[in-house]
Structure formats: structure tokens, C-alpha cells
Amino acid sequence: MAFYGQMPPKEAWQKSEEAAVKALAIDDALGEAHFSLAVVKTWYDWDWRGGEREFKRAIELNPEFAGAE
């Protein structure tokens, strides 16, 4: 949503992070949620180590998920 101007970037990134964290609280084995959190960490927070950790976890949980590779 932030990429396409549908809402202010800060709001979109915060909502994305909240949704990913909520999904992981429900089920920590969701590779897609780890991927989403990784994107927020790298693109918005500039937390390269945190993003890498989440990307690796996403791939570990779902190696077939092309977005995480």
C-alpha cells in the first residue's frame, strides 16, 4: 500500500508490521508472516540483521515461497 500511494507510507508500514506481528503471535510457523516482517525491517526500519533473520526464518519454514528467496 505504501508503494502504490494508497495511504501515507508511515501508516502503511506500521499497519504492515502490526499485522505481521499479530499473525506470528497466532502462529509463529507462518513463513509468509516472517517474510512480511522481514520486508518491514529492511525497507522501513533499515534493520538489516533483523530483516535477514526474518527472511531466513521465512525460507526455513516455507522453502517454496518465491518471495522470500
Cα 27–chain centre separation: 14
**What per-residue confidence (pLDDT) applies to 31?**
95
Within 8 A by CB and 6+ apart from 53, the residues are: 38
Give the pLDDT band of residue 9 (cuts 50, 70, 90): confident
pLDDT in tens, 12-45: 999 999 999 999 999 999 999 999 999 999 999 9
- Tell me the three state secondary structure of residue 14: helix
**What per-residue confidence (pLDDT) applies to 65?**
77
Measure the CA–CA gap between 61 and 52, rounded to whole angstroms: 14
**What per-residue confidence (pLDDT) applies to 30?**
96
